[in-house]
Amino acid sequence: MMQDSQPSGSRDPLLKVENLVVEYAVGGKTIHAVSDVSLQVARGETLGLVGESGCGKSTLGRAVLQLRRAVSGRVLFDGHDLTAMQGDALRQMRRRVQLIFQDPIASLNPRRRIGDIIAEPLVISGVKDPKKRQELVCEVLSAVGLDPSLVIGRLPHEFSGGQCQRICIARALVLNPEFIICDEPVSALDVSIRAQILNLLEEMKARYGLTLLFIAHDLAVVKAVSDRVAVMYLGRLCEVGPSEQLFARPAHPYTALLIEAIPVPDPDVRPAESVPVGEPPSPISPPSGCRFRTRCPRADQRCADEVPELRKVAPDQFAACHHPLIAAG
């Protein structure tokens, strides 16, 4: 149950993304990766961000950290506009925001020892005393369930994927950040390991008082950890709302399609045979109006003419659809 009935905007937002637009130039063409997306993440909250490949969810995560500069729009972190920051000021802010990637093995330098990998952010941020660094490294390693004495001197290839992800989480935690962007942190892991890492993220969130942006394509995984969920399609936000409410009563037809397409591990639940045909169109020339209209069973002329605005459909739940599955209460 959500204990908070206020609209999410009026809670204390740690991160505010306002009308963010990110584009890539590829071979003389423009990829509209993120188009006019606005989001908020309240302090202490986990916001799940779901969508299929190419929907712009990872780009959005990177644009928050200014690893990819926005064409327009603002990213406010704790009131500071990151899009206006450069150099040292930005580096200082980045200490407070960390990133965990999908492929844990590829995101660790194969030639460096684990102890050095985790100490690196401390070196960069100016912790000069090696003893102090060692102490902090050992502390985070124990926190993520690894024995520092067995781990520090070893190289990444000596560890399994799940252990490497623990190491990446330790590296993200070592600067004691407030906000962590998790970009598909468990999709490269096996089912039994995935559950361990999801539980670990929840534990770390409680222990370090973190706020999380959890990016994933798997709705069940997102629901397991998120207070609220935002759904993206082809660069635009379709729907955002409290997790349980969104899954019980999706308003956007795309959210409903995603939920329907999840394979359920129960032989009595026959797979829906009615999954709409077609694939997401190219983000180089997205459809006019609502970008989902080419696959949407409810689409009409209005959907082609007019970009749907994000509108309130239920308490705390907003959908960008001209013909939502639930009407505003």
Partner 1 sequence: MTEPALLSVEEVSVDLPTPRGNLRAVDHVDLKIGAGRTLGIVGESGCGKTMLSRAILQLLPKKAKLSGRVMFDGQDLVRLEPERLRKLRGRSLAVVFQDPMTSLNPVLTVGTQLIETLQEHLELDGHAAKRRRAELLAAVGIPAPEQRLMQYPHQLSGGMRQRVAIAIALSCEPKLLIADEPTTALDVTIQAQILDLLAREQRRRHMAMILITHDLGVVAGRTDEVAVMYAGRVVERAPTPALFKKMRMPYTEALLAAIPKIDAAPHTPLPAISGRPPDPTRPIQGCSFSPRCRYAADQCYREKPLLAAAESLDHQYACFHPIQITAGVDA
Residues forming contacts to partner 1 in the complex (CB under 8 A) are: 1, 52-53, 160, 162, 190-196, 198-199, 202, 217-221, 223-227, 243-244, 247, 257-273, 275-277, 279
SS3 content of the chain, % helix, strand, coil (to 5): 35, 25, 40
Closest listed residue to residue 38, CA positions, set 54, 55, 67, 15: 15
Which is nearer to partner 1, 263 or 329 (by Cβ)? Answer: 263
The encoded tokens of residue 217 equal: 């394509």
Provide, rounded to whole angstroms, the least separation between the CB of residue 194 and partner 1.
7
Provide, rounded to whole angstroms, the least separation between the CB of residue 262 and partner 1.
6
Reduce the secondary structure of 6-53 to three states and give it as a string.
CCHHHCCEEEEEEEEEEEEEECCEEEEEEEEEEEEEECCCEEEEECCC
Residue written as tokens 């912790």? Answer: 127
Tell me the CA distances in angstroms from 227 to 1, 34, 181, one per residue in order. Answer: 9, 23, 15
Residues in the chain: 329
Provide, rounded to whole angstroms, the least separation between the CB of residue 80 and partner 1.
29
Which is nearer to partner 1, 86 or 274 (by Cβ)? Answer: 274
Which is nearer to partner 1, 77 or 159 (by Cβ)? Answer: 159
Closest listed residue to residue 34, CA positions, set 18, 12, 45: 18
Provide, rounded to whole angstroms, the least separation between the CB of residue 129 and partner 1.
35
Which is nearer to partner 1, 120 or 244 (by Cβ)? Answer: 244
d(CA 253, CA 93): 38
Which is nearer to partner 1, 40 or 226 (by Cβ)? Answer: 226
Which is nearer to partner 1, 133 or 194 (by Cβ)? Answer: 194
Which is nearer to partner 1, 23 or 227 (by Cβ)? Answer: 227
Provide, rounded to whole angstroms, the least separation between the CB of residue 264 and partner 1.
6
Closest listed residue to residue 182, CA positions, set 236, 123, 119, 226: 226
Contact (CB, 8 A) for 234 and 283: yes
Provide, rounded to whole angstroms, the least separation between the CB of residue 278 and partner 1.
9
Provide, rounded to whole angstroms, the least separation between the CB of residue 184 and partner 1.
12
Provide, rounded to whole angstroms, the least separation between the CB of residue 221 and partner 1.
5
Closest listed residue to residue 36, CA positions, set 237, 215, 241: 237
Which is nearer to partner 1, 33 or 82 (by Cβ)? Answer: 33
Contact (CB, 8 A) for 123 and 133: yes
Provide, rounded to whole angstroms, the least separation between the CB of residue 8 and partner 1.
15
Which is nearer to partner 1, 58 or 226 (by Cβ)? Answer: 226
Tell me the CA distances in angstroms from 70 to 82, 88, 140, one per residue in order. Answer: 10, 19, 33
The encoded tokens of residue 110 equal: 């194969």
Q: At what angle are helices 130-143 and 114-124 packed, to 10 degrees? A: 120
